[in-house]
Structure 1
Amino acid sequence: MTLFGWGTYLKLVMQHYDYIIAGGGAAGLHLALALERSSLRGAHILIIDKDTKQSNDRTWCFWHTEYDKPVPDHLLRKSWEVFSVIGDSGELDIALSPYSYSMIRGLDFYTYAAEQIQKLPNCKRLVGTIDLIEDGGEKATVVVDGTPYHGSYVFDSLIIPGSFSIDPTRYHFLKQHFYGVFVRTTKPVFEPHKAGFFDFRVPQKGVMRFVYTLPSSETEALVEYTLFSADLLTADEYRNELGNYVQGVLGLEAGDYEVLESEEGVIPMSDYPFPRRGGERILYTGTKGGRVKGSTGFAFHRIARDSEAIVRSLEEHGHPFDVPTPPPRYRTFDAMLLQILYRHGELGAPIFEQLFRRNPIDRLLRFLNEETSLREDIAIMASVPWWPFIRAWLRMHMTGHP
C-alpha cells in the first residue's frame, strides 16, 4: 500500500462518526434518507453493509394516503385503488380511497437511496462483514472485518442467526413465507386496477394459505403463494402449489405464460417485545427493533415512519431514543391472532375474510397501522368470530403460555 493509501486508511479507521448505520437494507437506508432531509445532514455518518445492493432482491408494498408516502411518486412501480378478497363467500372488491396500495422494487429503492446519500457531505459507505457491535459510555464500537469504527450512536438492524431467540413458552413466533413469480401471459388474465390481496382458493391443509396477485397490466403480474405457519415448505412444494393455482384457478397452461422473475422470502411474525435499545449508544431498528407488524408482516412504511421519529429525537433531544411506542393493546391483538394461526391455522381465512367484509376499509387499515381508537378496536373485534379470540385470550392469561 502506498503512503497515500495508508494515510487514507488510517484517517477512515481513526475517525469518530456521529452516527454509524449498521445494515444498509430498508431500515438503514430509510434512516440515511431521513438524515439527508434533516438539519443533521452535515453529521459524520458511516453506513456499513456486506452487500452493494445492486440487485432486485425483493419487492415492498404498502398502503398510503396522498399525503403520507414513504418514497417519492417516481419510485412507485404500480399503485392500485381496489383490494380483492376471495373466499368462501365469493369475491369482494373494496375501494381503498382515501388510500392507495403501492409497490416498489428493491433495486429502485436502493438506487434512489444511493443517489440521495451522495448529497450528504460527510457520509461514507463501507462494504464489509460486521463482526461485533459493542456499547460504551461515550461511544459505541462496530468491528468490520477486524477493524474497529467508533460512533456516538449506532443504529443496528442486523439480524444475525443465533444472536437472539424467542422463548416459545412465552411468545408466539410464526413465519410469513412465500414464493412468487412475475409472469407474462399470452392472453388477458388480470385486472390491472385491482390488487388481489387474499385469494383463499387454495387448499388450506391446516394452515393459512393464500395467493397474492399484483397485476401491472392485463397480461403481467406478480403471483405469489403465501403461508402463515411455523414451518417452511420445500422448494418443490412452493413451486407445485403455485403451479396448481396458476393452472387450476387462472386457467393457464405451460405455453400460456412465461416467468420473467421469481422471488421468495420469510418474514417473522411474532408478539415478542423486541427491545429498542442495545445499550447507552445503540438503537435497534428495522426487524431487529420490532418494526415488523406482528400479525401481518408489513414493515416498509412502518420503518420509514420510525426513521423520521428517530431523526426528530436526535434533533430535539440529542439522542435517538425518544421514539413513540404503540398502545400495548395492539400487541395483545397480535398475540391472540398469532395463537389462533398457530393452533388453528384453518381459521385464518374466515377471520381475514370477515375483517374485510365487515369493516370500513379506512378503519381497518388504520387498525393495522395501530392508529385506531379503543372504540374502533372494539368494533373491529366484534366483526370476527369471537370464540377463537376469547379462547386465545383465556389461554394467554390463565396459563401464561401461547
Structure 2
Amino acid sequence: QETDHIWGFWDGPNLAAASRLARKRWHSWSIVTGRGKAVLRSQERPYTALHRLDWTAHCRAAASRAGVATLDGDKAATATDLVFDSRPPPVPDGMMLQHFLGLEVRSRRAIFDPDTAILMDFRVDQSRGMHFIYLLPFSATEALVESTLFTPSVCPESYYRGEIAAYLEAHFGLDEFETLRTERGVIPLGILPPRDPSIPGVGGNGGAIRPSSGYAFPFIQKQIDRAIAAACEGRELGFAVPHRRVDLWMDAVLLTVLRHWPERAPELFLRMGRALDGDEFARFLSGEADWPLRLKVIMAMPKAPFLRGLVRLLAGSRPQLTAEAG
C-alpha cells in the first residue's frame, strides 16, 4: 500500500496541474525564532500543500488516457527501449540529512491561524543540531506539525513525537489532540551519484533534490519538463540536474555552516526572511534566483560564519557540479 505525504512548494508557471490538486495554499508564511519573527506574503507565489497520493493518481490517470500501461510490483522482464531509475541513491555515512516526523493533528479548540503557514519555528530543542517545527494549518483546528532536523544522524521516533507535543503545549496551549495521520522522511542534502551508474537517474536519483532545503517536487517537475522539451526538439531523452552550479555552491557553503555551527541557524533564516519579500523568497527557494537576488541574500547574512564555512569547504571535498551553468 502506498504511503501518503504532503509535498510543499511555491506555486509557479510549470506547476499549474499540481496547484489545481492542492489541499491548501497560503499567501502568507512565517519564520519564527526566540528573538523575532519574519512574515512574508505573496499573491503570485502562494505556498502550496499537495498530497502525494492525489498527484500520483492524477499522473496515472493521465498516463492511462494516453495509452500508457503501468506495471506495479515485481514483474517479469519487459522489453524496453529506454530505462530511467528513480529509486533513491545510496546515502554515504556522515552526510547531512533532513529528517522529520510529522503528525496531522486535530484540536477541539480553534488554535491555529489558517491563513499563515509556519515554515520554520526554531523555538524547540537545539541540542542535537539545527531543529525546527514546520506547521501547515489546514483549518483553525487541524494542522500538519513536523519536527525537522538537519543533522547527519536520525533521531528515535519518540524524540520527534515528544518535541511536537512539547511545542504544541508551549505555544498553542494544546495538551491533548487527535492524531489523524503520521508521516516521516529522511532526505539526503546533497547531489549524489545515481544508484546504478549504468542506468540514467531521474528525480532524487537524478540530482533533483535541492541540497539546502530538501525540496524536491518542483525541481522534479522542472527536470521532466526540460527533458520533454529537449526530446520534442529531436534530442535524446535525458534528465539533467535541474540546479545551477552557483546555487549548488551556495548550498554547499550553507550546509557546511549548519553542520559545524548549527546554533547560527535561527539567526540566518530569520535574516533571510527579513531581507526578502515573499516573491523573492519563493523565487530563491524555487531555484529561480538571478544574481541581484543572490547578492541580496548574501548581503543579509553575517559574513564570519560563511567565510569559515567556505574555508572548510575548500579544504575538504568540492561539491559535485554536474549541473547547468549560471
Q: Percent identity?
A: 29
Shift of 1:106: 1.6
Shift of 1:70: 5.0
In structure 2, the partner of 1:17 is none
- CA distance 1:312–1:324, shift in 2 (3 Å): farther
- CA distance 1:362–1:113, shift in 2 (3 Å): same
**Is the 8 Å Cα contact of residues 70 and 301 (structure 1) preserved in structure 2?**
no
1:348 and 1:70 map into 2 onto residues whose CA distance is 33
In structure 2, the partner of 1:380 is 297
Higher strand proportion:
1
Listed one character per residue, the Cα deviations across residues 358-394 of structure 1 (whole Å, up to 9, x for unaligned) are: 1223223222223222233122111011111111111
**Is the 8 Å Cα contact of residues 207 and 242 (structure 2) preserved in structure 1?**
no
Shift of 1:206: 4.6
Secondary structure class of the residue paired with 1:94: strand
Letter of the 1:58 counterpart: H
Secondary structure class of the residue paired with 1:387: helix
Is 1:69–2:11 an aligned residue pair? no
In structure 2, the partner of 1:154 is 83
Is 1:94–2:16 an aligned residue pair? no
Shift of 1:398: 3.6
Which has the larger Rg? 1
Q: Quick one: which of 237, 242, 253 aligns to 1:320?
A: 237
Q: Quick one: which of 184, 187, 211 aligns to 1:294?
A: 211
Listed one character per residue, the Cα deviations across residues 192-248 of structure 1 (whole Å, up to 9, x for unaligned) are: 111011111112115111111111111111111111111111111111111111112
In structure 1, the partner of 2:137 is 215
1:392 and 1:360 map into 2 onto residues whose CA distance is 26
Listed one character per residue, the Cα deviations across residues 57-80 of structure 1 (whole Å, up to 9, x for unaligned) are: 211111014x44252444110010
**Is the 8 Å Cα contact of residues 84 and 93 (structure 1) preserved in structure 2?**
yes
2:40 and 2:122 map into 1 onto residues whose CA distance is 16
- CA distance 1:206–1:232, shift in 2 (3 Å): closer
- CA distance 1:175–1:167, shift in 2 (3 Å): closer
Is 1:82–2:82 an aligned residue pair? no
Shift of 1:88: 2.8
2:258 and 2:39 map into 1 onto residues whose CA distance is 25
Letter of the 1:149 counterpart: T
Q: Quick one: which of 160, 173, 183 aligns to 2:105?
A: 183
1:51-66 paired onto structure 2 within 5 Å: 55-65=2-12
1:277 and 1:375 map into 2 onto residues whose CA distance is 38
Letter of the 1:312 counterpart: A
Listed one character per residue, the Cα deviations across residues 262-292 of structure 1 (whole Å, up to 9, x for unaligned) are: 111111111x35469944xx42101110100
**Is the 8 Å Cα contact of residues 202 and 239 (structure 2) preserved in structure 1?**
no
1:112 and 1:377 map into 2 onto residues whose CA distance is 35
Q: Quick one: which of 97, 100, 106 aligns to 2:52?
A: 106
Secondary structure class of the residue paired with 1:149: coil
Q: Quick one: which of 73, 76, 79 aligns to 1:128?
A: 73
Q: Unmatched 5+ residue regions in structure 2?
A: 320-326
Secondary structure class of the residue paired with 2:17: coil
Is 1:205–2:127 an aligned residue pair? yes
2:156 and 2:37 map into 1 onto residues whose CA distance is 30
1:72 and 1:370 map into 2 onto residues whose CA distance is 18
1:114 and 1:224 map into 2 onto residues whose CA distance is 29
2:250 and 2:216 map into 1 onto residues whose CA distance is 17
Listed one character per residue, the Cα deviations across residues 106-148 of structure 1 (whole Å, up to 9, x for unaligned) are: 2211222222121122x2221224xxxxxxxxxxxxxx5xx43
**Is the 8 Å Cα contact of residues 182 and 261 (structure 1) preserved in structure 2?**
yes
**C-alpha RMSD over aligned residues:** 2.3
- CA distance 1:323–1:176, shift in 2 (3 Å): closer
In structure 1, the partner of 2:167 is 245
Shift of 1:336: 0.6
Letter of the 1:103 counterpart: A
1:250 and 1:330 map into 2 onto residues whose CA distance is 37
Aligned residues: 319
Letter of the 1:90 counterpart: G
**Is the 8 Å Cα contact of residues 359 and 383 (structure 1) preserved in structure 2?**
no
What TM-score do the two structures reach when normalised by structure 2?
0.90
Secondary structure class of the residue paired with 2:57: helix
Secondary structure class of the residue paired with 2:143: strand
In structure 2, the partner of 1:308 is 225
In structure 2, the partner of 1:339 is 256
In structure 1, the partner of 2:322 is none
What TM-score do the two structures reach when normalised by structure 1?
0.74
